[in-house]
Amino acid sequence: HVFLGPEGNVLSTGLTTWTKESPFKLVLGWLSLTTGLLGLLYVFFRGLWLVACGRIFGNTAIVLPWLSLMSFALPVFLFSLQPFLKFGELTVASVLLAVLSGALPVSLMYALYYTWRSNKYALTDLCSLVAGTQLCVVLVVQGVLPIVFWC
């Protein structure tokens, strides 16, 4: 059974309820997600480029967020080793994922601060750090970040 609320803006099955949102909010959310992911992708590929050039530990602020992004491979590896039924339990992989996902916005904000204060930054680096930081802020406000699976 499906029930419609007053004026047709609420849809309910009795167990879950959905409300109708404006298209503007939807477009804004997708725009935020897209720009944030593009910013994080830029940080990822910029770090790979710096590794390939041998300048990863030079005077660049992108290193810390890049290392933070690269460290997400460890919980993925640990999740692949554990049984599927332990996915929602408190394990080393889930704690590590929560810690790393909580550290990502901190590393992005530090890099943004460091880049802004250095006065010799690339505009693309600054824009990517702003985009990644705004995505993390939106996810923190929505209660998605840090990623916690055991609750």
Which pLDDT value is given to residue 72? 95
The pLDDT of residue 84: 87
Q: What is the pLDDT along the chain (151 residues), one digit of tens a residue?
A: 555 566 667 777 777 777 777 889 899 999 999 999 999 999 999 999 999 988 887 767 899 999 999 999 999 999 999 988 888 889 999 999 999 999 999 999 999 999 888 877 788 999 999 999 999 999 999 999 999 988 7
Q: Which of these, 60, 67, 39, lies nearest to 136 by C-alpha position?
A: 39
The model's pTM = 0.84
